[in-house]
Amino acid sequence: PLQDIALSVDSCRYVAGKDVTIRLATVLRHAINELSVDFSLNLNGQIVPLYSKQLCEQNNPQFQFCGKKKGEYIYYSGPVSLNMEDIPEVNSS
């Protein structure tokens, strides 16, 4: 199921090897038993995949929000590592 979130990134400039500071907040529409995240960027009609990761697994919670119930509020503020050398460039031809 889909989930609305509020996301703020402190800098639009990404430097390889450095963490990006984000703020994320949401009120859950569904309980979090399993959760994956996929971020992509749409540049001039081309989809550029940026980040994909399994965050919560049924029997292996990696984060404190894993297992939260419907209606609970989640807030995170802090660094996130993208583990990317560089964000791919897209030709605008």
- The domain defined by 6-81 carries CATH number 2.60.40.770: yes
pLDDT in tens, 12-33: 665 656 777 888 899 999 998 8
Q: How far apart are CA 91 and CA 83, in angstroms?
A: 23
pLDDT in tens, 34-65: 888 887 877 888 888 877 888 888 888 788 88
Domain map (residue ranges) of the chain: 6-81
Q: Which of 14, 9, 11 shows the shortest CA–CA distance to 85?
A: 14
Q: How far apart are CA 40 and CA 47, in angstroms?
A: 6
